[in-house]
Structure 1
Amino acid sequence: MMSALEGQVTNLEESMYGVNETLKVVEGRTDELNSMRVQLRDYMAEALGANLDVLKEALNTTMVDQTEKFN
């Protein structure tokens, strides 16, 4: 009986080691994904900001042109 329990304990310990190793891998992947998310957010903010500047300039140019036409 004791030998059977010892075997089960050994199996459980080995399983827990495997679970801990898998958890470390998952945590590493989660960190990588979070880093990628931050990089993508920063890239999109920069890209949208650049587009906004172009649109503002186009709007200002159009407004100046229209103002000159009516004056």
Structure 2
Amino acid sequence: MASLRNYAAATLEDQVINGRILASGLRDARLEAVDCGHLFVLTRPAETARRAEHFIAQHSRTLS
């Protein structure tokens, strides 16, 4: 992955429009965007885990 920095090529910024469209059509949806590349689980593991844990805590039911 580090060697990718050595290549010069035109690139596009990925838009999150599909996520926005989906979120706008789902009741109680919230779009979470992590400011990094496609491999957010690898590049931002702590932030990804925190967001996932928050989501799970909000939506899980207590089993007794």
Q: Which has the larger radius of gyration?
A: 1
Do they superpose with TM above 0.5? Answer: no
TM-score bucket (shorter structure): under 0.3
Which fold has the larger relative contact order, with Cα–Cα distance below 8 Å and residues 6 or more apart in sequence?
Answer: 2
Q: Structure 2 length normalisation: TM-score?
A: 0.28
Task: Name the structure where helix makes up a greater proportion of residues.
Answer: 1
